[in-house]
Each structure stands twice: as C-alpha cells, then as structure tokens.
Structure 1
Amino acid sequence: MANNEFGALLDPMPLPLETGYERLASGVLHVAVRTDMHNCTGEMLEWWFRWRCDTQKYIWWHPVDHISSTWQGEISAQTHIGSEHVVTECFSGLPAEDLVIQFRDPTEFFDGVEYAEARASGAVTGAIVGRNAHSHNPTRLADGSVLGGRLLHIARDTEWGTALRSHFYVGYDLPALGHSPNEVTEQATDRFGQALVQHAYDEFTFLSRFLPGLFLAEHRDVRLPRPPW
C-alpha cells in the first residue's frame, strides 16, 4: 500500500500541508499535525507505544479527551507492531467515540528501501503507523486487517527534541468499498478534521511534558540517568 503521498513523510523538507486538513478528490479527509516534542526522541515515542498504557496512563496522555484504554492482538515487549489499541476518547469537544488502532509494519505504508535509508540517515528516528476504525468491533479483511482509516506518526530527532508529523486519512477504505465522495464526506466531516488537528496537537504536547522523565525512570537499570545536581 506504499504510495508517494505517504513516502513524502520520509523527507524532512517542509510539506505543502504540515498542520491543517484538506479534502481529497475521493472524499477522504487528510489531517496533518506537526508537534514539537521538546526533550523527546523517536526512541521514546516508539517505547511509549510498546509500553501499552492502561486507562490511568492513557488519561495522563490527554487529561481532557482520553477516557479508557485496553489492548488486544499480538502483544510483545519488543514491538508495538501487531498490537491493537482499544480506546474510548473525545475529539476536542465532540462526543466520545470508540476506536480500534491496529499498529502495522511501516513497510506496508512506505517503500522498504526508502524507509530503511530514512532510518539510517536519521531523517526518521521513530515510526508509528496503522489502520484505525471508529468502532470496537470494526470490519476486517479476511487476514484480520482493520478497514477504516490510516494514521502515521513519523518522528525526526533534532538538537532540541523530536519533530513529530502526524498524518491521518479518515475514511481511507470507503472509496474502495463503493462509497461516493459525498458519502465519504458525510462520514468524515470537516468539523471532525478541525477537532482532530487540535486533539493530536494537544495529546502529543501533553505526552512530551512527562515522557522524558518516565522513559529515564523505566530504563534506569540499563541506562542510569545522570542526576541534575
């Protein structure tokens, strides 16, 4: 499923849309958010998703919008890929929704060689990508793949922290299921796009405020931090 639009996220150069939302010709809603996560790294971001926050810690992540968090699918301490985050959350004032986020291998979204080169060069230092659906019991393909939207969180480390690009394609699978652009638009509204921009910016800003300290504490047995004094 790799395509040129996804592939552009591997290049640090500014994109035409870094923060905002747009309507694609298919009716799919493309939402983009850039968040500067000071003192964080891509390594920390990937670890956060492997840590698999329970409801208490999920609320730390966004004290306003997040409601509940459980996990299912393939659970491994070594990777977030294959796991599914089952959540209930609000979106910046909109009513609460149930979601399943199914984390996938980046090579489902990106050309394998280009992705490997981006990781090797430091253009990408963290990648969280997946499929999502607005339901706790989503429609799936025969292989278990969730049908719905797509999300991509691509991190790049800088001298001050991590520049995070979050891109969402709401209703991504609907055109292939026979929905017209108008029908897709009815399900993936501009109001939701506006709310998602704010929600994604807020949640990763909240996360950046405690993730560095949490990461240090959880890794002190293998990477003892230097005391600030």
Structure 2
Amino acid sequence: MVIETGLQRLEGGPLQVSVRTDLHGCKGRMLDWWFKFFETTQHIKWWHPVDHVEHRGWDEHWKRGENYYGASIHAVESLAEIPPVAAKLKFHDPVEVYGEAALKDAFGAGAVSAIIAARIGFGDNVKMDVNKDPITGQMLHVARDTSWGCVLRSRFVLGLEPGAEHVPEKVGLALMQHCYTEFTFLSRMLASLYYGERANGEEVPMPW
C-alpha cells in the first residue's frame, strides 16, 4: 500500500482510491465487530449522518454478532457531492485475498488487527458473476493497532468490468472524502458502543 491517500489510474483503466484514516480510541477488533453489529438505517446514519441514506438489508449469510463473511448488503448512500445511489457489497474472508499463512504471520506480528474485504458495485442494476459478486469494484480496509487506537488504510478499485468506461476522477475524490468522513464519525462513538454492547465478552475499561 504505497499511496496513503490519493488516486491512481491502474493499467487498463481501473481507478484505485486510497484513504488513510486514524481512528483514535478504536482497535481493529472493534471495527471487525461493527460489521457484525450494524443492521438498520439508524445504525448506518451513526456511521455517516449525511451520506448514508438507507439500509436495505443483509442477506441470509449475515449473522448478528457472529459472521459477515459471504454476506451481501444493499444500501443507498451519497458520495460527498454525488447524489444518493444504490450500492451492493459482498464481503469475503480475508484468507481468500492473502492466504492463511500470510494472515497468521501478519496478525501474529501485530502488523494487522482487522481486514474487511468486499466486492462492490453501485447503481440499481449491479452486474454480478455466478457467485453473486459485483464485478465492477473491490474494497479493502486494513487496520493496524497503535498506542492511541488504530490506523485504517482503505483501498477501492473501481471500473473493473472489461470494456467499461473509465471511472471519472471526481468519483474517486468523492469516494475518498466519503470514506475518510464515515470512519472518522465511526471512531467517535465505536468504543463506547462496543463496550456498551459487551462485545466479545470484554470487561469495560473504566476511565476513573
């Protein structure tokens, strides 16, 4: 992940969007838990009070508090100044991306504390493959814990469909702003929500 925050046009035309967000007071395990928790429009409005419009539901593979791998979500959201549009995301086990051995080493060394991987598509008629994965885009969020919280590095690749027109850079810039803003908002309340829900059975660390 060479570029921390910015755009890069990849060979063949896809647009890569890179975003770094510092999540103060949050750890990677909290971020992973969040994807097993949120399930309503109110929840996603906590995440981004302006851009997130509607949560249209998870499919049957999502299990609250247990699993989001293999699950798909439908929602409606704006991307900064770009008006609301439907979105579909299908989440994958990071093992499919990095392999079991590499993941074990990265987590064991503390280089990584959470990975959220998905295929993504925007619009009312998202093109999908035989596995119901959107074919137009990819998303990756990689967290690393620090003494003050965690660093989140996000990567999106848009315009992957063969023969597709190039995704305009203004869309990439809007997605960059959206991503940074939503995770900044999330960082302001995630730790309290995590401990309030007694997530993972953890004791609440009292500030006094």
Shorter-normalised TM-score: what interval?
A: over 0.9
User: Following the alignment from structure 1 to structure 2, what is the Cα–Cα distance between the partners of residues 149 and 22?
Assistant: 14
Which residue of 1 is the match for residue 180 of structure 2?
201
Question: Are 1:65 and 2:46 matched, yes or no?
Answer: no
Which residue of 1 is the match for residue 143 of structure 2?
155
| Equivalent position amino acid for 1:134 in 2 | F
Q: List runs of 5+ in structure 1 lacking aligned partners.
A: 1-14
| TM-score, normalisation: structure 1 | 0.85
Aligned length: 206
CA contact (8 A) 2:73 2:89 kept: yes
Q: Deviations over 1:179-224 (max 9, x none)?
A: 0xxx431xx1100011111110000000000000000100179333
Which residue of 2 is the match for residue 33 of structure 1?
19
1:117 and 1:221, CA in 2 relative to 1: closer, same or farther beyond 3 A? closer
- Post-superposition shift, 1:137? 4.5
User: Following the alignment from structure 1 to structure 2, what is the Cα–Cα distance between the partners of residues 127 and 112?
Assistant: 13
- Post-superposition shift, 1:95? 1.2
1:89 and 1:114, CA in 2 relative to 1: closer, same or farther beyond 3 A? same
User: Following the alignment from structure 1 to structure 2, what is the Cα–Cα distance between the partners of residues 74 and 163?
Assistant: 29
CA contact (8 A) 1:85 1:101 kept: yes
- Comparing 31-40 and 110-119, the one that deviates more: 110-119
User: Following the alignment from structure 2 to structure 1, what is the Cα–Cα distance between the partners of residues 180 and 140?
Assistant: 14
Which residue of 2 is the match for residue 92 of structure 1?
80
Match of 2:121 among 105, 130, 133: 133
Q: List runs of 5+ in structure 2 lacking aligned partners.
A: none
User: Following the alignment from structure 2 to structure 1, what is the Cα–Cα distance between the partners of residues 40 and 132?
Assistant: 24
Aligned-residue CA RMSD in angstroms? Answer: 1.6
- Post-superposition shift, 1:96? 0.9
Matches within 5 A, 1:1-229: 15-69=1-55, 70-76=57-63, 77-172=65-160, 174-175=161-162, 179=163, 183-185=164-166, 188-219=167-198, 222-229=201-208
User: Following the alignment from structure 2 to structure 1, what is the Cα–Cα distance between the partners of residues 81 and 128?
Assistant: 29
Q: Alignment partner of 2:171: what SS?
A: helix
| TM-score, normalisation: structure 2 | 0.93
- Between the aligned residues of both structures, percent identity stands at 37
1:221 and 1:65, CA in 2 relative to 1: closer, same or farther beyond 3 A? closer
1:25 and 1:221, CA in 2 relative to 1: closer, same or farther beyond 3 A? closer
